[in-house]
Chains A and B, each alone.
Chain A
């Protein structure tokens, strides 16, 4: 497999017809949350894009993010590996092990210095770097060494983005996210525990197609996927507005699919694509399946109080306080919906330019 083949050449070599290529571009546009009108532009960009080297480093993680991306259906991980990227190092998927694996990583870094994409999952312990080592090298050293020659870094999952589970109180390993260690490279945060497969591949596809970072929010997350509040896009929102809440997990409200705010749903303070893109190729997402949102794409989500107590309970402990908070919540909900609409309008204006 020639590494400096264009993506177009790689697909043609694999016997993919022009129609197949256009279908691939249409699915990629959909996955990047871009308008179908941009498909010709994406086709031109992908035709000429060189297959970049990607080095994937895994640190203090549960491998859930890799599990997520390998469930990606569009494109499949195989499509990505063989056609779009040159995945030069990934400990779960690669055949090499031991010194051969490390040699492959060093070779890829040298050959593609300044041009490879570094993908990281897992947090990095800085409290005592020896808590997590690979081939005798601490995660901290491996990250610094590999980041030095990277063109950009993608922090996949809440652990790499914000420290995630290891970072939760009392954070015994001193776990932090990538952006707290590397400050001189462009970093895209793709948080979630795990992130939706299509979001991970969508972000990679965007970078590989256009050669640049997508628009990011104040937490370094791509606006295309994290610009929407779960609460604003939740199909159960009308129940919230009408004050119809499930009070327990098996009551009438729960069975009728009413709002899960009182059962601890963190939708109102969470930004992710779950309510629109959903999971398992659009089958469902936690709220649709009857469980409140955990807020897993936000920093410190493990330390924001119980998953099962409403957001407002943190502030208002009494039933009266809770009732007042629910009313206030509905009022604020309308406000945030209006704000979300104006953000959307701005995004679509920019796209039209």
Chain B
């Protein structure tokens, strides 16, 4: 057995870029312009881009946080917030075990998944009618 002395081994992580951060920011700017010009929305899958350790956090930090935060509870929690750039949303989908299922940047007036869905609206009308008929009894 050893003497039990602890040896301090300094470990540094490589601090460099894959070079994907700036092109991604350009892509977001182009998407924003398209939104302004024609209303076209864009979704970018963050998991499709190779990132060096810490790069994704740097992108999130650069974009910052804006006025709106939302949580969707369906098949687990999904958290989204508008970044400091209006129209640029940061979306993280988690499953019921809070493991990340998807990370997206959506450039839109509002993330499409926040819209009430057509099928659910129909169900809602039925639910309201039932509620009201119970009140009548």
Contact = CB atoms under 8 A, between A and B. Distances in A.
B12 A16 contact: no
Contacts of B93: 23, 26-27
A235 B47 contact: no
B50 A238 contact: no
8 contacts: A16-B75, A17-B74, A19-B74, A74-B99, A233-B50, A239-B14, A276-B48, A281-B100
A111 to B, nearest CB: 30
Interface in A166-225: none
A37 B43 CA distance: 7
Interface of B: 9-14, 16, 18, 43-45, 47-53, 72, 74-75, 78, 93, 95, 97, 99-102, 104, 112-113, 117-120
A254 B21 CA distance: 25
A37 B10 CA distance: 45
Contact of B113 (A23, A29, A239, A257): A23
A36 B44 contact: yes
Contacts of A255: 9-12
B70 to A, nearest CB: 12
Interface of A: 16-20, 22-24, 26-27, 29-30, 33, 35-37, 39, 73-76, 79, 233, 235-236, 238-239, 250, 255-258, 275-277, 281-282, 284, 288
Nearest to B19: A238
Contacts of B18: 235
B50 A30 contact: no
6 closest cross-chain pairs (CB), A and B: A257-B14, A20-B74, A36-B43, A18-B117, A73-B99, A74-B101
Contact of A257 (B12, B95, B120): B12
Contacts of B74: 16-17, 19-20, 23
Contacts of A35: 45
Nearest to B49: A276
A173 B108 CA distance: 58
Contacts of B47: 30, 276-277, 282
Given A36-B43, A74-B99, A26 B117 contact: no
Given A17-B120, A235-B18, A235-B53, 5 more contacts: A18-B119, A18-B120, A22-B117, A27-B93, A75-B101
A139 B25 CA distance: 53
B123 to A, nearest CB: 9
A79 B11 CA distance: 40
A257 B13 contact: yes
Contacts of A250: 9
B14 A258 contact: yes
B113 A30 contact: no
A19 B12 contact: no
B12 A20 contact: no
B46 to A, nearest CB: 9
Given A17-B74, A235-B52, A275-B50, A22 B99 contact: no
B45 A30 contact: yes
Contacts of B51: 235
Contacts of B10: 255
Nearest to B106: A36
Contact of A26 (B16, B49, B52, B102): B102
A74 B43 contact: no
Contacts of A73: 95, 97, 99-101
Contact of B50 (A27, A74, A235, A256): A235
Contacts of A30: 45, 47-48, 101-102, 104
Given A23-B93, A26-B93, A257-B12, A282 B100 contact: yes
B99 A256 contact: no
Contacts of B45: 29-30, 35-36
Contacts of B12: 255-257
